[in-house]
Amino acid sequence: MPPVTLALVAANVAVFLLQSAAPGILTPFALWPIGAAEISGGRASFQLWQVVTYAFLHGGLVHLGFNMFALYMFGGPVEQVFGGRRYLIYYFVCVVSAAIAQLAVSAMTGAVYPAIGASGGVFGILLAYAIYFPRNRIMLLFPPIPMPARVFVIAYAVLELFFGVTGTEEGVAHFAHLGGLVGGFLMLQYWRGIDLLRRRR
């Protein structure tokens, strides 16, 4: 595993262990909607640091396991393409864009619940993997069907949009996942533009 991916996995596992020992860290570091303090009677409130810290908290071992497995599987190849510094920037752009999407949806729906998990960053990594390794086969667990990476990501994004719009799997931040995808896409387009300008010079 390349060093930045390894560090991200290690940090998530370490925070999960801390969270297990001190569950109270969820309240100040999970991502709360703007205005949650008024609605919840001051028990929870949005703070700026939460747009990053929420991504290191998880709702159980299975949640952590799936995210870290995906980060291990897809993050390594993407880090080798980007290099450590650009990869780290990309990951956190996806994390923050996922948080912004979640805050926007919460503001529109009035829902007051905390968002946690690295899924926004992982979805951005999945997008980058599909762009740079579009023909690599990904085997689904349910059902066990192999498909090219780009087909997998498109299908996954469509499902997330469907689940988000219909309210399926309530409590899952589907629009945050899509926010990670959009943030990753915009970051890649920005870098492509910068690289193109450098080549022209």
pLDDT digits (tens, 9 = 90+) for 22-40: 988 888 899 988 877 665 5
pTM: 0.88
- Position 93 scores a pLDDT of 96
Q: How far apart are the first and last CA of the chain?
A: 35
Both tokens assigned to 69? 């497995």
Q: Which residue has the tokens 């998990």?
A: 117
Q: Compare 154 and 41 and report the one with higher pLDDT.
A: 154
Average of per-residue pLDDT values in the chain: 86
**Cβ neighbours, 10 Å, residue 92:** 18
Amino acid at 14: A
pLDDT in tens, 106-161: 888 777 788 899 989 999 999 999 999 988 888 766 667 788 888 888 887 887 77
Amino acid at 69: F
* Calpha distance 29→46 (Å, rounded): 9
**What single-letter DSSP state applies at residue 11?**
H
CATH of the domain at 181: 1.20.1540.10
* Calpha distance 116→158 (Å, rounded): 22
Q: In terms of residue numbers, what domain contains 84?
A: 3-200
pLDDT in tens, 171-182: 677 788 889 999
Q: Which residues neighbour 36 within 8 Å (Cβ) at sequence distance 6 or greater?
A: 44, 45, 46, 112
Give the pLDDT band of residue 194 (cuts 50, 70, 90): confident
The two counts, helices (H) then strands (E), for the chain are 10, 2
Q: Are 131 and 63 in contact (CB under 8 A)?
A: no
SS3 60: coil
Query: Of 86-90, 110-114, 153-157, 162-166, which one has max mean pLDDT?
Result: 86-90
Q: Are 131 and 81 in contact (CB under 8 A)?
A: no
Specify the number of domains making up the chain.
1
Both tokens assigned to 62? 């299975």
Q: Are 93 and 183 in contact (CB under 8 A)?
A: yes
